[in-house]
Amino acid sequence: MTKGRYCVKIIVKAPLKAENIQQLLDGAEDEGFTFRFVEKKGFEMEFEVTGESFADPVDVVKALIKATDYGKGLYFSVVIKK
C-alpha cells in the first residue's frame, strides 16, 4: 500500500449524537489526516479531509467515533462524497 495525499470530502450519516460527532471531528487530527466540518443537512454531516497517510480516511473516522463512549452502540455510516 502506498501513502496517498488526500483532499476529499466525507459524509457522516448519524440520526443520533450528530452534535457530538461534529465536535469530535471538527479540527481533529489523526493518522495524518485533518478534519474540518463543512455543513449539515438533515442526518448528513459533510467534512473536508486533508493530509497524507497510508490509512483510509473512512476507516479513521469510523474508528474515532467507535472509540467514544456513545460510538459503540451508535448507528452511523461514513462514505466518501462523490
Q: How confident is the model at residue 71 (pLDDT cuts 50, 70, 90)?
A: very high
67 φ, ψ (degrees, to nearest 5): -75, -10
Mean pLDDT over residues 48-68, rounded? 95
pTM of the model as a whole: 0.91
Q: What does the alpha-carbon distance between residue 62 and residue 53 come to, in Å, rounded to a whole number?
A: 16
Helix (H, G, I), strand (E, B), or coil: what is residue 68? coil
Q: What is the pLDDT of residue 77?
A: 97
The DSSP bridge pattern shows strands 29-30 and 77-80 to be: unpaired
Q: How confident is the model at residue 1 (pLDDT cuts 50, 70, 90)?
A: low
| Residue 31 cell numbers, joined | 493518522
Nearest to 10 by CA among 42, 30, 37: 37
